[in-house]
């Protein structure tokens, strides 16, 4: 709980620091603040948690674990931000403030115990992002992305709100426990309104996680936004949205799983195919990562399809491994784009000759995304696959396997460019903060891949 308050105050503090032109202190203050938040969250790790504030928030292990994950990833994004924002804008404080507000929203989504708070969390998270996506005022792509994201996002929130209303209409409460009570006490006579509400909420939340068929915004928005914002959106926001989605469906709607599992099954299959086949066609590394993030959303839905005691852990491990690899990939992209000026696959040509370490690190990230053993990505995929195997969705698994084989092709395209194609160009200088990030992400990726025990039964 202290975490949310600290985050909000931290965001305001950073805003005021910006107002008084203390630009040098922005990053250190934010980093220290985030470390404090992580400390507070760890402190919240108690055996038994009870809902706070009239049942608004529940800081159980689930919420704490996902909040720590989101905060750590934000921390890593902040480490990258040194020198990134200053190159495109004078108003650096806004970046940090908005990212912190968005993180606050993410923590709320992770820990909600009341649908009103879910709505609030999603709005806080998204509104900050609407601004961040369009923050490069003079860049038409950025503006287009912001408008698209805003209009589509507003629509989807509308759906979500309508869904919440219908749930309320049927059950008479916003509280997760009360809704659960309603579902269990009316096993065969759940109101049709309630089913309608579930459908609308699925639409709203699926939009946020960026799964098909509500994925159309992702490509343009992720592509148009500044790379660092894209990396924040495709990691923190995605994980928080998944955490919220899973919490809603496992906590209170579990008895109705016969109704919603087929829906998610369909969504997952379409998402996998659309994400992977589109990623296959891309010539830009950034857009490839965007579509791959859609396909990863498909894999993460597996945990909801095979809902069980391990679902939360599966999403946690998958989310962590995916975020680490994605962050590494985006960081590499920032470096390459800064040096070469393009985010096409060709700009990676011959990178292994010039920067062998950067190439090796990007290769590990790509292998992790592809799900090769001894990297974190494999453990994540393995957990997802065993989650759905528990319910014998063998056809789904075969389709997933086909998609994974397709995916390895486009991930290797980068590796091929880096190692096997020659390219002229110069050595890319890597700042200390990037080195730090690469060390953290790569070590964690391999650690989770080789010995994941301490991460597997967290929740």
Give the Cβ contact number of residue 415 at 10 Å.
19
Whole-angstrom distance, CA of residue 221 vs CA of residue 449: 31
| Beta carbon nearer to other proteins, 5 or 402 | 402
Which residues partner with 112 through β-bridges? 57
Q: According to the binding rule CB under 8 A, does residue 367 interact with other proteins?
A: yes
Q: According to the binding rule CB under 8 A, does residue 456 interact with other proteins?
A: yes
Q: How far apart are the first and last CA of the chain?
A: 18
| Cβ pair 387, 265 in contact under 8 A | no
Q: According to the binding rule CB under 8 A, does residue 277 interact with other proteins?
A: no
Q: According to the binding rule CB under 8 A, does residue 372 interact with other proteins?
A: yes
Q: According to the binding rule CB under 8 A, does residue 366 interact with other proteins?
A: no
The window from 5-13, 46-54, 259-267, 373-381 that contacts other proteins (CB under 8 A) reads 373-381
| Beta carbon nearer to other proteins, 254 or 456 | 456
Residue 272 to residues 211, 213, 394, 404, 417: CA-CA distances in angstroms? 9, 11, 15, 9, 25
Structure tokens at 138: 């003079």
3-state class of 391 per DSSP? coil
Among 199, 374, 436, 440, binds other proteins (CB under 8 A): 374
Q: Sketch the per residue contact string, 389 through 408, with other proteins: x for CB under 8 A, - otherwise.
A: xx-x-x--xx--xx-xxx-x
Residues making up the chain, counted from first to last: 459
Angle at 276 between CA 273 and CA 280, to 5 degrees: 130
Q: Hey, which residues between 18 and 77 contact other proteins (CB under 8 A)?
A: none
Among 292, 293, 313, 355, binds other proteins (CB under 8 A): 313
| Beta carbon nearer to other proteins, 180 or 421 | 421
| Cβ pair 289, 234 in contact under 8 A | yes
The window from 67-75, 104-112, 298-306, 412-420 that contacts other proteins (CB under 8 A) reads 412-420
Half-sphere exposure of 167 (CA within 13 A, CB side): 30
Q: According to the binding rule CB under 8 A, does residue 357 interact with other proteins?
A: no
Closest distance to other proteins from the beta carbon of 310 (Å): 8
List residues near other proteins by CB under 8 A: 310, 313, 367, 372-374, 378-379, 382-383, 385-386, 389-390, 392, 394, 397-398, 401-402, 404-406, 408-409, 412, 416, 419-421, 451-453, 456-457
């Amino acid at each position: 709980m202290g975490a949310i308050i600290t985050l909000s105050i931290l965001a305001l503090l950073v805003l005021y620091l910006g107002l008084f032109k203390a630009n040098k202190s922005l990053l250190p203050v934010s980093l220290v603040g985030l470390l404090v938040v992580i400390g507070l969250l760890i402190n919240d790790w108690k055996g038994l948690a009870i809902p706070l504030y009239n049942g608004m928030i529940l800081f159980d292990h689930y919420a704490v674990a996902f909040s720590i994950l989101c905060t750590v990833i934000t921390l890593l994004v902040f480490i990258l931000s040194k020198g990134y924002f200053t190159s495109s804008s004078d108003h650096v404080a806004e970046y940090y403030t908005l990212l912190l507000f968005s993180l606050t929203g993410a923590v709320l989504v992770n820990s909600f115990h009341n649908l009103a708070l879910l709505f609030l969390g999603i709005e806080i998270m998204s509104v900050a992002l609407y601004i961040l996506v369009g923050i490069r005022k003079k860049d038409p792509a950025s503006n287009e992305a912001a408008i698209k994201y805003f209009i589509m996002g507003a629509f989807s929130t509308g759906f979500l709100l309508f869904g919440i209303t219908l749930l309320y209409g049927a059950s008479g409460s916003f509280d997760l426990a009360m809704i659960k009570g309603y579902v269990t006490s009316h096993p065969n006579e759940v109101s049709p309104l309630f089913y309608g509400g579930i459908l609308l909420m699925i639409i709203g939340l699926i939009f946020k996680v960026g799964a098909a068929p509500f994925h159309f915004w992702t490509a343009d928005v992720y592509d148009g936004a500044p790379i660092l914002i894209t990396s924040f959106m495709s990691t923190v926001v995605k994980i928080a949205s998944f955490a919220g989605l899973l919490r809603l469906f496992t906590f209170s709607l579990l008895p109705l799983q016969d109704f919603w599992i087929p829906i998610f099954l369909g969504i997952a299959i379409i998402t996998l195919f659309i994400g992977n086949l589109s990623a296959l066609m891309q010539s830009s590394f950034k857009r490839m990562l965007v579509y791959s993030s859609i396909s990863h959303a498909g894999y993460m839905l597996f945990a909801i399809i095979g809902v069980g005691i391990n679902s939360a852990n599966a999403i946690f491990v998958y989310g962590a491994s995916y975020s680490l690899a994605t962050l590494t990939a985006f960081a590499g992209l920032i470096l390459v784009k800064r040096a070469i000026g393009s985010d096409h696959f060709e700009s990676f040509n011959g990178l292994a000759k010039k920067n062998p370490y950067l190439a090796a690190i990007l290769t590990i990230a790509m292998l992790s995304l592809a799900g090769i053993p001894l990297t974190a990505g494999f453990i994540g995929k393995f957990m997802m696959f065993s989650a759905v195997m528990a319910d014998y969705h063998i056809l789904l698994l075969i389709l997933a396997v086909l998609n994974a084989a397709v995916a390895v092709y486009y991930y290797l395209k980068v590796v091929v460019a880096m190692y096997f194609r020659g390219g002229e160009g110069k050595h890319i200088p890597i700042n200390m903060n990037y080195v730090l990030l690469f060390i953290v992400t790569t070590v964690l990726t391999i650690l989770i891949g080789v010995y994941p025990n301490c991460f597997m039964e967290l929740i």
